[in-house]
Amino acid sequence: MWQGATKSAHRRELSDCDPVSGVMPAKYNSVISIRTLLLSGIVALLFGITSQSLAANDIRLPDIGNPSGNVLTPAQEKRLGRAFMRSIRSSLPVIQDPLLSAYIQSLGERIVQANENASGGFQFFLIDAQQVNAFAGPGGHIGVYAGLITTTESESELASVLAHEVAHVTQKHLVRTYDAVQTMSLPAAAVAIAAIAIGAATDNPDMALAAATGVQAGMMQREINFTRSHEEEADSIGIKTLAEAGFDPTAMPVFFSRMGKASRLYDNGKLPEFLRTHPVTTNRIADAYGRAGTFPYRQRADSLDYHLARERLRVMAFKDPREGIDFYSKSLNDGRYRNEEAHRYGYVLSLIGNRQYEQAREQLERLTRESPEQVEYLVAGSDLEKLSGDPQAGLEILKTGLKTHPANYPLTIYYAQALLDIGQPQKVIPLLEQQLQGRPDSVLAYKLLAQAAGDSGRGSEGHGYLAEYYYLIGDLKSALNHLETALRDRDLSYYESARMAARLKEIRQEKEDLEAREK
């Protein structure tokens, strides 16, 4: 049974994730060693990574497969994509914040639905870093840096970057390089791809090259770049997708133009990451304006969700909540804001962070009078009640919100946490199991399920959930340890024992494949 000291230890394990951002701490980074995994001949399955060489001749790739996309089956690409994400989570500060995750996924899905060539599930995720960039990996996993969102000046600009990246995926650019990856085991290939993604998207090739020993990694880095024709195609399809999705099609050239003007303020060695990995030329901007001009002009107001996400990210970036209080109080007094409601929301979060609960309540009441069902305000109100000493009132706010927004992911996650806080873990498991049907890779869901099972006295189930939690963040050793612990429970049913034994075998094989590549 999961009780006593063991239960307390697991609670400490599960409390390591930052409560606001959901970002895993640094101690979980680099759980999987990526030394020697970048073999010659491996090229990126990354979409959205370019270099200044685009201004020169196209890079000629060998014709090693059918460009129609039959090198990897959809099932193989999906498995590779999930393995890629495990490696990303172990190496980068992926934001698990339910509100921010829900926003970027919702915006991405709107783009995908407007792209007539998109098929299968796309997953969009955020990285807690101020780089102005985005990248994607196999299986339609598209990462967006926090700095990109806070740099955009409209939701259409943000959507334009997502549309461009989605176009690279749907057009299967560089799909012929998949058969080079087939020479490696799936987990090893995923780690190699993730290493290149990290190095390229941050414009820090040392992060990728450090993973290669005795390999012509510089040549590899050149081979992952897109050809000029690929970029033109992604621009063209991306602009069409923007128009179909109801966004301003000129947002892409506008963003390109603004980034191009910004480049004049830097020397070549200090350009922002977006400019290094997405070279912006006069011709490219002109072509983008020309393509956008073929669609009817559409001025689209930014959604409130976009503005709230930007301010939530801004608050997370402050080192001290008092910085946020000073920033928002001044901007609200001076009228220096793009969206008053979103700035007041940022002010509320900063006040809560600094334990100024009464002032936060006053500001939040102004927001809820205008938008009483806004999910962000419901979550803030629940947090405020809990921190003020009334967790039951906070629970009721979330419960009422779920009646208006059934199965809403952020509300469900916060409601599950609220149930745990007041000692009702037995209600959490069916609630979150249902969420996993739509979000099978939800790190937070498994984290809370593990705690709920442990608090309910269902120790073996708790270890099983913990195993999946650690597996998703790339810590295979801890995943195996928890499965082995669960299997020692003599009261485990035959079905559960067989299922966990099979899972143990699967993860152990993946770990052995990775270790074999390191020798």
* Identity at 177, one-letter amino acid code: T
Among 442, 450, 384, 487, residue whose Cα is nearest residue 89: 442
| Catalytically annotated residue among 235, 441, 455, 468 | 235
Q: Please say whether the beta carbons of 238 and 166 come within 8 A.
A: yes
370 in catalytic set: no
Tell me how many degrees the CA angle 71-74-80 measures, rounded to the nearest 5: 85
| Catalytically annotated residue among 155, 165, 376, 385 | 165
Q: Long-range contacts: 61-70, Cβ < 8 Å, 24+?
A: 61/174, 61/176, 61/177, 61/223, 61/227, 62/176, 63/176, 64/176, 64/177, 64/179, 64/180, 65/175, 65/176, 65/178, 65/179, 66/176, 67/172, 67/175, 67/176, 68/172, 69/172, 69/175
Q: How far is CA 81 from CA 136, 140, 302, 359, 426, in A?
A: 10, 7, 31, 45, 33
Buried b / exposed e over 82-105, threshold 16 CB at 10 Å, is bbbbbbbbbbbbbbbbbbbbbbbb
18 in catalytic set: no
What are the structure tokens assigned to 272, written together?
């922002």
| Number of DSSP helices (H) and strands (E) in the chain, helices first | 25, 4
Which residues make Cβ contacts (< 8 Å) with residue 394, sequence separation at least 6? 381, 382, 383, 384, 385, 386, 418
CB atoms within 10 A of CB 393: 14
Catalytic residues: 165, 235
